Structure 1
Amino acid sequence: MHSAPDIHPEPPLVIDLDGTLLCSDLLLETGLAFVRAHPARLPRVLLWLTHDKTRLKQALAQATHLDVSRLPFDLEVIELIEAERRKGRHIVLSTTSHRTLAERVADHLQLFDEIIASDADRNLSAEHKKEVLVQRFGEGGFDYAGNTHEDLPVWRAARLSYVVNPEHRLERLARQLDNVAAVMRSNRPALGDWAKALRLHQWAKNLLIFVPLLAAHRLTEIALVGQGLLAFLLFGLCASSVYLLNDLLDLGDDRHHATKRHRPFAAGRLSIRSGLIAIPALLLTAFAGALWFLPWAFAAVLAAYYALTLAYSLALKRRMVIDIIALASLYTLRIIAGSAALAIPLSFWVLAFSMFMFLSLAIVKRYAELRQAREKGHAEKARGRGYYPSDLEMLASLGGSSGYVAVMVLALYINDLSTTALYRHPEVIWLACPLLLLWITRVWMLTHRGQMHDDPVVFAIRDRTSLVIGALFGLIFWIAT
């Protein structure tokens, strides 16, 4: 009697999950999802961590629900798996992540014949993973695809190694094992990804720091300009820290968004771990510079900005109306930061004008998002927001009205006694009112037509018509002086 032929001539192909098949880390993904959903329960995560990592993985996996269909998978690794499956190979998913998550990923991809993962009894990392795989398939009885230094023991025990997106030093160590079948470089971060994640283009909004200098007619004082530039830089570092945090907390929502899913963290081009390192580094640099070189009041405003932005990211952005008031306040805080950094008091008129103007622009931003949702036929509440697409008409009414109130504040400012002390010809400023009406109306018309695709302040800095109107606006105030 003849024995059945071996239907698996090649040894099993074992695929690591975090950082290899997946351009992310499920432990960090679930941790961030938990913090966003339950920010007040952050101490519980720390408590789980004090017990052991196995307990932490299990607790986070059970307490959160990730949409695995939206996770950023490495397409080159998937192509490798599909090619080997066509040859009839046994494909194994082996991961340090909890089995619950591994099973959901496997169910979604339908590429694996077997799952070996961490559970309540064991944390399948480094040497533990090697021991389990050797016990299951034998020394040299499997091929293995991984991506970190923790995979070195497994590569040593494997027949062939696939090294995925390694750092330079790791690739050198892996090649010393003399069993590297391929080095796959399908997901390498670039400087452009960091520029996008830090939102360097959004730093243009920090030019509002110079408003107190302009309003006080002291732009020719070089020392104050230097202080303003330093405040601009430090505020930018703080803001970038917040942008990174916001992106990490919003991973789930961003991956369901038409354009935000291409952001570096949502798309997996930048690792969550690198973001978690950059956030405190940027923040500490900003506050250290503020306390060392600028008045303490600037650091206080910076702290208020950070606290409000954190509250916005964790909760306020999902609260109807509160979210747009918070956004408007964040714009105004930049002007207050300039006042604090330069020790120039702000007038009532500047604060009143900025609050109404920025409320209008905050509503523009929210209106543009909802309009896009309605165009796609979404009738339900926008994901991660407190609005329905049917709220568009009301938002347009509120936003346009707020912008026109800002024009009225400007008109009242012209007749104020303090204005006559600053300008020789204050009546000339009346010409600025129709210009501002033109700009506000144009912005809202473009938004209504679906042509507003950026932050309105950033749009104004890039838009040629807005720049011409701004130049004329400045010319009018110069003539009035």
Structure 2
Amino acid sequence: MENLSTKFQYNNVVNISRAFVKIMRPKQWTKNLLVFAALLFSNNLFNMDLLKLSLYGFFLFCMFSGSVYIINDIVDIEKDRKHPKKCRRPLPAGLISIRQAWLFVMVVFSLTVLASYRLSPLFASIGMAYFALVCLYSFYLKNVVILDVMTIALGFVLRAVAGTVLIGVRISPWLLLCTILLSMFLALHKRKSEMELVAKGSKGSRKILEDYTPELINDMLHIVTSSTVMAYSLYTFTGAHSVYMMGTIPFVIYGIFRYQYIVHTKDMGENPELILLNDVPLIVNIFLWVVSCVVILYWL
């Protein structure tokens, strides 16, 4: 009987621990890989000291973003309970309580700020700015048309900027421009997929979707998609790197087209992180793009 009780307590601890990890949405941490962009394009990828710094920065930014996801889930718990997929998240599913979530996020955020400050005060400031921005988004900006997707884009920019200040290199305007456009491309596709769910009768949708129309989303996507390709192409033409960087343009075009294909045929636009983790052709394309960039920037 005592063994059964011990086993039950052990399983309960394991389940709660898994719920705390899940509520930080580790599948979305792929977005924080932008921290490494400055390392790659500043020709410091093989500098072990800077690589170690970027790895620390990546982990800490995962903690910053994970903390924000917890707060977002606390704010949206009632809406998520009505959502066909989000209802399985730890909070709406009742795996952890709101009180436990608040305690957990306060501990994680406090430790992350302390560790970030010891690594770099400026990096810590950017991390806290990101945290404040996304909290503002969760409580208010996600309900303001156009500003909602622009806020998401700014969050991606802060990730890229955090990577540059951490290793002490100049912030490239091309890096910022391409980051803004690509993140808006992802955010608009997310809104479009959410609108399609509503059209199919999904409950618990975002209020902001009432301010968008399919025509508006499509017009914005046309502008952002073409601008993304043009901005990256101009970077390869005019950047201080090898002219051979033009050879990476097809990877960018294919990646954008492949993403659009998946969104339109497999209804996955609401979860871009799942596309990046599960679509083999897209993963192979990103890998080949990274390898091409490394070969061109470091050996040609």
Q: Which one-letter code corresponds to 2:94 in the other structure? A: G
1:434 to partner: Cα distance: 2.5
- Stretches of structure 2 lacking an aligned partner (at least 5 in a row): none
Q: Which has the higher contact order (CA 8 A, sep 6+)?
A: 2
Q: How far apart are the structure 1 equivalents of 2:61 and 2:39?
A: 16
Structure with the bigger percentage of strand: 1
> What does residue 254 of structure 1 align with?
80
1:400–1:441 Cα contact (<8 Å) kept: no
Task: Choose from 27, 45, 48 the match for 1:222.
Answer: 48
Whether 1:193 aligns to 2:19 is yes
* 2:258 partner SS: helix
2:54–2:167 Cα contact (<8 Å) kept: yes
Q: How far apart are the structure 1 equivalents of 2:134 and 2:150?
A: 12
1:209–1:231 Cα contact (<8 Å) kept: yes
2:192–2:217 Cα contact (<8 Å) kept: yes
Structure with the bigger percentage of helix: 2
1:363–1:395 Cα contact (<8 Å) kept: yes
Q: How far apart are the structure 1 equivalents of 2:232 and 2:150?
A: 21
Q: CA deviation digits over 1:125-169, x for unaligned, max 9?
A: xxxxxxxxxxxxxxxxxxxxxxxxxxxxxxxxxxxxxxxxxx98x
- Stretches of structure 1 lacking an aligned partner (at least 5 in a row): 1-166, 172-184
1:308–1:330 Cα contact (<8 Å) kept: yes
With structure 2 as the length reference, what TM-score do the two structures score? 0.88
Whether 1:312 aligns to 2:137 is yes
Q: CA deviation digits over 1:212-267, x for unaligned, max 9?
A: 00010101111111111111111111211111111111111111211111111111
Residues 209 and 390 (structure 1 numbering): CA distance in 2 closer, same or farther, change over 3 Å?
closer
Q: Which one-letter code corresponds to 2:104 in the other structure? A: A
**Identical amino acids, percent of aligned pairs:** 25
The structure 1 segments of at least 4 consecutive aligned residues displaced by more than 6 Å after TM superposition are: none
1:246–1:313 Cα contact (<8 Å) kept: yes
Task: Choose from 191, 201, 214 the match for 1:392.
Answer: 214
| Structure 2 counterparts to residues 6-25 of structure 1, below 5 A | none
Task: Choose from 438, 441, 448 the match for 2:257.
Answer: 441
1:301–1:333 Cα contact (<8 Å) kept: yes
* 2:207 partner SS: coil
Whether 1:365 aligns to 2:197 is no
1:478 to partner: Cα distance: 3.5
Residues 398 and 222 (structure 1 numbering): CA distance in 2 closer, same or farther, change over 3 Å?
same
| Structure 2 counterparts to residues 366-381 of structure 1, below 5 A | 366-376=191-201
> What does residue 354 of structure 1 align with?
179
Residues 390 and 462 (structure 1 numbering): CA distance in 2 closer, same or farther, change over 3 Å?
same
1:189 to partner: Cα distance: 4.1
> What does residue 285 of structure 1 align with?
111
> What does residue 465 of structure 1 align with?
281
Q: Which one-letter code corresponds to 2:135 in the other structure? A: L
With structure 1 as the length reference, what TM-score do the two structures score? 0.56
Whether 1:415 aligns to 2:269 is no
> What does residue 205 of structure 2 align with?
383
1:375 to partner: Cα distance: 1.7
Q: How far apart are the structure 1 equivalents of 2:256 and 2:211?
A: 22
1:319–1:385 Cα contact (<8 Å) kept: no
> Between Structure 1 and Structure 2, whose CA radius of gyration is higher?
1
> What does residue 155 of structure 2 align with?
330
Whether 1:343 aligns to 2:168 is yes
* 1:337 partner SS: helix
1:400–1:444 Cα contact (<8 Å) kept: no
Q: How far apart are the structure 1 equivalents of 2:173 and 2:224?
A: 17
> What does residue 236 of structure 1 align with?
62
1:372 to partner: Cα distance: 1.0
1:367–1:447 Cα contact (<8 Å) kept: no
2:189–2:269 Cα contact (<8 Å) kept: no
CA RMSD of aligned residues (A): 2.5
Q: How far apart are the structure 1 equivalents of 2:254 and 2:91?
A: 39
Q: Which one-letter code corresponds to 1:334 in the other structure? A: R
Number of residue pairs the alignment of both structures matches: 290
> What does residue 431 of structure 1 align with?
247
Residues 233 and 477 (structure 1 numbering): CA distance in 2 closer, same or farther, change over 3 Å?
closer
1:189–1:270 Cα contact (<8 Å) kept: no
Residues 432 and 457 (structure 1 numbering): CA distance in 2 closer, same or farther, change over 3 Å?
farther
